[in-house]
Chains A and B, each alone.
Chain A
Amino acid sequence: MSALTTERRQQRAAWGFLAPALILIAVFFFVPVIAGLVMSFTDYDVYAIGAPDTIRFMGLRNYQQVLADPEFWHALRNTLYFVVVGGPLSVLASLSAALLVNAKIARWKGLFRTIYFTPVVTTMVAVAIVFRYLLHPRYGLVNEGLTLLHLKPIDWLGDPHWSMPAIVLLAVWKNFGYNMLIFIAGLQGIPEELYEAAELDGAGAGARFVHVTLPALAPTFLFVGVMTMIGQFQIFAEPYVMTQGGPLRSTVSVVMLMYEQGFRWWRMGYASAIAFVLFVIMLIATLIQMRLQGEGRRP
């Protein structure tokens, strides 16, 4: 069989292999994304559902409105709080867990790794409901714990200042196991020789950590940081189930705002604009993070 015919046969067969996936992705992902962009330039809303002739082309007015809407900025502030506070906390928790589990003298590594990872696979809605009860000001175990430590109980879901921290708490608990695994892999990839060399140079445990571990983990930090941030920008189930965006709209996230505008008030054109603004913000944030973390590590 000549090389040319195998080439052609592969070419023909390839389309057969690709067609199902590509068609599905094109029709149910790419087309909606492009349609979303188009929709964001219109005022598609509840009137349009009943009478399509009432759709108007709005140009960039939806985007102007989004950027002028105080509700949007409030939601963005809430989301950024989650990203800026929750992100580092989550990474810190994951790294700490990874260091503990990976320590040379640690036993039952597999067991602890499994336990720490368990929250990751649980259903977010289910655990958000559990946390809603755990965070009850009077009957919740969290405040009971605080009282035992002689601290004042907190009205977690009723006080606008503590509602976002409550959601951060839930998110960190749920996800730290995932990044822990990645950190463990990163830690295991650090060659022993580096540590031995540092020890010979007289570096103590702390110094070894700062000068060997951390720099070696730089790419892992970047990966974990970016992935976590992308997930956090899209937060929805936690505020929807735990607080319905309250109290005083202090936990409304951008995606939740999009959901409200699109599927509660049926302003789909406006909601599409919100989604695209979020997309752009996420891109910019990712690029910034990659630049910051990339530059900082370059020798």
Chain B
Amino acid sequence: MKRALPAIALHALLVVGALLTLAPLLWMVSASFMPTGQANTFPPPLLPSRPTLEHYFDLFTRLNLARTFANSVVVTLGITLSSLVVNSMAGYAFAKLRFRGRDAIFRVLVAAMVIPAQVGMMPLFLMVKGLGLVNTPWGVMIPGLAGVFGIFMIRQFALSIPDELLDAARIDGASEFRIYWTVVLPVLRPILVTMATFSVLSAWNDFMWPLIVLSDDRRYTLPVALASLVGEHVQDTELMMAGSVLTVLPVLIVFLVMQRSYVRGVLMGSVKG
């Protein structure tokens, strides 16, 4: 029995930890099904007394969150597609193509990772205004269309492509782009999947820049709409929880499906310390 004690204690801690971690999310879901006003009673309830979908209906009818959901989808897909295409080409080039200035330019890009995004936000806003893209999905997507982090990660992965493979294709007379398309991309698929997952999560959850750029509630993305709703509807706990569930569910699903790939990406970005 003494030998089992550490195991029991350990698992007890793990379970308690898991409950504490999941508790806010579980309550969020539970409260979203509570009838109006139940969440603001004392003592605080854990489960709905009479589960109802009325808040979800409210979100889609009165508050038109379907439109907001669509906005989030559009922006997320746009950013993900763009950054995948653009970053993977650049990442591959930095890894495997020989050209003058390659290492110098790459070093400049890596150094730029130190600069926080906020530093350029005001001029970027004015630039987006000049392009007439304030309050549009393009305006929201602009800072995310390409990124140094993505280039860095893809380059890291692409370094492992054997040069012989590429040289063989070159000897066969294939153009660089054809080599990229037919030989390199299939090899890059795992990292592309990982970067796509990162990008989807990060674009869906982005708050500050969409908050700055969007002023029309028809164009809000989900995080901005939520923040706006909580200003007017702070007493409507159950409604806000339904909104939160709607926002969190898609990324949670994407994460659970793409877990392995995502975790691999997290570790890849950190392994060298």
- A and B part of one assembly: yes
A residues whose Cβ falls under 8 Å from a Cβ of B:
1, 6-7, 9-11, 13-18, 20-22, 24-25, 28-33, 35-37, 39, 44, 97, 100-101, 103, 105-107, 112, 114-119, 121-127, 129-134, 136, 138-141, 144, 173, 177-178, 181-182, 185, 219-220, 222-223, 227, 230, 233-234, 236-237, 240-241, 255, 258-259, 262-263, 268, 271-272, 275-276, 278-279, 282-283, 286
| Complex: chain A residue closest to B93, CB-CB | A17
Q: Are B120 and A36 in contact (CB under 8 A)?
A: yes
Q: List 11 contacting pairs A-B, 8 Å CB cutoff, sorted by A.
A: A21-B146, A25-B109, A105-B6, A124-B223, A127-B24, A133-B237, A144-B43, A230-B116, A234-B116, A237-B207, A268-B122
Q: A33 to B185, alpha carbons, bound, how many Å?
A: 33
With A20-B89, A21-B86, A130-B244 as given contacts, are A13 and B176 in contact (CB-CB < 8 Å)? Answer: yes
**Which of A32, A106, A118, A233 has a CB less than 8 Å from the CB of B25?**
A118
| Complex: chain B residue closest to A24, CB-CB | B146
Q: Are B87 and A21 in contact (CB under 8 A)?
A: yes
**Which of A16, A173, A271 has a CB less than 8 Å from the CB of B122?**
A271
Q: A37 to B201, alpha carbons, bound, how many Å?
A: 31
Q: Are A278 and B89 in contact (CB under 8 A)?
A: no
With A29-B112, A33-B115, A139-B40 as given contacts, are A123 and B204 in contact (CB-CB < 8 Å)? Answer: yes
Q: Are A100 and B10 in contact (CB under 8 A)?
A: yes
Q: Are A141 and B23 in contact (CB under 8 A)?
A: yes
Chain A positions within 8 Å of B7 at CB level: 105
Least Cβ–Cβ distance between B271 and chain A, in angstroms: 6
Chain B positions within 8 Å of A7 at CB level: 98
Instruction: Answer whether residue B165 sits at the interface, using C-beta atoms and an 8 A cutoff.
Output: no
| Complex: chain A residue closest to B123, CB-CB | A35
With A133-B39, A138-B42 as given contacts, are A223 and B270 in contact (CB-CB < 8 Å)? Answer: yes
Q: Are A259 and B90 in contact (CB under 8 A)?
A: no
Q: Are A134 and B24 in contact (CB under 8 A)?
A: yes
| Among B50-58, B61-69, B188-196, B255-263, the stretch in contact with A | B255-263
Instruction: Answer whether residue B47 sits at the interface, using C-beta atoms and an 8 A cutoff.
Output: no
Per the CB 8 Å criterion, the residue count for chain B at the interface is 98
Q: A37 to B143, alpha carbons, bound, how many Å?
A: 18
Q: Are B248 and A181 in contact (CB under 8 A)?
A: no
With A127-B248, A131-B24 as given contacts, are A1 and B120 in contact (CB-CB < 8 Å)? Answer: no
Q: Are A129 and B93 in contact (CB under 8 A)?
A: no
Q: Are B247 and A125 in contact (CB under 8 A)?
A: yes
With A105-B10, A106-B14, A115-B18 as given contacts, are A258 and B180 in contact (CB-CB < 8 Å)? Answer: no
| Complex: chain B residue closest to A185, CB-CB | B267
Q: A190 to B142, alpha carbons, bound, how many Å?
A: 43
Q: Are B270 and A185 in contact (CB under 8 A)?
A: yes
Chain A positions within 8 Å of B39 at CB level: 133, 139
Q: Are B17 and A123 in contact (CB under 8 A)?
A: no
Q: Are B145 and A28 in contact (CB under 8 A)?
A: yes
**Which of B127, B180, B237 has a CB less than 8 Å from the CB of A32?**
B127
Instruction: Answer whether residue B273 sits at the interface, using C-beta atoms and an 8 A cutoff.
Output: yes
Q: A258 to B120, alpha carbons, bound, how many Å?
A: 12
| Complex: chain A residue closest to B204, CB-CB | A123
Q: A25 to B117, alpha carbons, bound, how many Å?
A: 12
Q: Are A29 and B97 in contact (CB under 8 A)?
A: no
